[in-house]
């Protein structure tokens, strides 16, 4: 049997990164993980090992550290890279735009320098549906033009994709996965999202409110042009997001030599409003939720959900979990964090 490739995963102790490492290890890949641990913890690394029963190499490295990155590539022969390492909060990016450009764009450029020097050509990039801004039509497909980003986070992802398109002309082969809204946790309850401080994403705030960590959830806006006035999103289980990365690696591995930059929407194709999600959480878990309606939040897009036909057809990927399961798994993880029964 052919030996599986060696994959470098940057930001591999983060939320989506950790779940993807599980999928890679279970698929037989050799994996090296790097993470600065600025926004994660070592217990996530241990959780990955507990789930898979497999060892992997972990290094505490910041992707902005060019010297450390060079040493890493010098010591290893990587076949491909999955690049997760980035800040990801829309709200925080509005408050700290420079930090987002320095980290998200700078880390990619440092990584690409190392890949180019050590002749590693295959890259799976962690992108976002925020690259579309508020699209002219939904469900949005990959042919939709980039509109003005609603936040510096979205703009940083747009800029990264432009850089990667240019790099594809000089030999880097790229599959860019544009995530919609990853939620949930591993069904084992051993890994999940670990927001630092007050969560910026909806579901961790929902579960923290349900656990009593937060007094109340605020739904930002009920006067949007949507069925119930709240923002509409495409929520997808994090394990489904993770499995798509394995398919994307296999997709690049199977390509003949040549230049490629391919973007894929990674979503379910179903639009769900914030208020619908709140009600679904109550229904799926039996836990009541204290919430109120607040004003709109800067940087939020009114409504967006995916047309996932391209990823289904090209990568042979399909989501396995529904919204109720996603919310149950998120709640299971939240209870584990706080020792709740």
What are the tokens at 73? Answer: 């590539």
What are the tokens at 153? Answer: 């986070």
Q: Quick check: 12 and 21 in contact, CB under 8 A?
A: yes
Residue linked to tokens 């190499």: 57
100 a catalytic residue: no
Q: Quick check: 146 and 133 in contact, CB under 8 A?
A: yes
Catalytic residue among 153, 251, 305, 321: 153
Dihedral pair phi/psi, residue 292, rounded to 5°: -140, 165
Q: How far apart are CA 230 and CA 303, in angstroms?
A: 9
Helix extents (H) in the chain: 15-26, 42-52, 66-75, 90-95, 97-100, 106-117, 152-168, 202-210, 238-254, 274-285, 309-315, 323-338
Dihedral pair phi/psi, residue 32, rounded to 5°: -120, 130
Q: Catalytic site residues?
A: 153
């Amino acid at each position: 049997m052919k030996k599986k490739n060696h994959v470098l995963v940057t930001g591999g102790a983060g939320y989506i990164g950790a779940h993807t490492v599980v999928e890679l290890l279970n698929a037989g890949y050799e994996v090296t993980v790097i993470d600065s641990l600025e926004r994660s913890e070592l217990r996530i690394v241990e959780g990955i090992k507990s789930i898979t029963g497999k060892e992997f190499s972990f290094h505490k490295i910041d992707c902005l550290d060019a010297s450390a990155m060079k040493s890493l590539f010098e010591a290893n022969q990587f076949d491909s890279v999955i690049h997760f390492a980035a800040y990801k909060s829309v709200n925080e990016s509005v408050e700290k735009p420079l930090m987002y450009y320095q980290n998200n764009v700078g880390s990619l450029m440092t990584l690409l320098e190392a890949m180019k020097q050590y002749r590693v050509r295959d890259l799976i990039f962690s992108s976002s549906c925020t690259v579309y801004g508020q699209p002219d039509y939904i469900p949005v497909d990959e042919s939709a033009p980039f509109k003005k980003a609603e936040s510096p986070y979205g703009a940083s992802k747009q800029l990264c994709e432009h850089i990667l398109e240019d790099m594809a002309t000089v030999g880097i082969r790229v599959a860019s996965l544009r995530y919609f809204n990853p939620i949930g946790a591993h069904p084992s309850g051993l890994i999940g999202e670990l927001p630092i401080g007050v969560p910026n994403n909806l579901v961790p705030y929902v579960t923290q409110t349900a656990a009593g960590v937060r007094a109340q959830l605020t739904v930002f806006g009920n006067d949007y042009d949507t069925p119930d006035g709240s923002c509409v999103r495409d929520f997808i289980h994090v394990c489904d997001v993770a499995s798509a990365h394995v398919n994307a690696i296999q997709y690049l591995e199977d390509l003949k030599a040549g230049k490629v930059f391919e973007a894929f929407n990674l979503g379910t194709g179903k639009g769900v409003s914030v208020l619908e999600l709140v009600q679904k959480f109550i229904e799926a878990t039996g836990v009541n939720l204290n919430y109120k309606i607040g004003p709109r939040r800067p940087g939020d897009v009114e409504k967006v959900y995916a047309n996932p036909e391209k990823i289904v057809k090209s990568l042979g990927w399909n989501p396995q979990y529904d919204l109720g399961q996603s919310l149950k798994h998120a709640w299971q993880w939240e209870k584990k964090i706080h020792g709740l029964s």
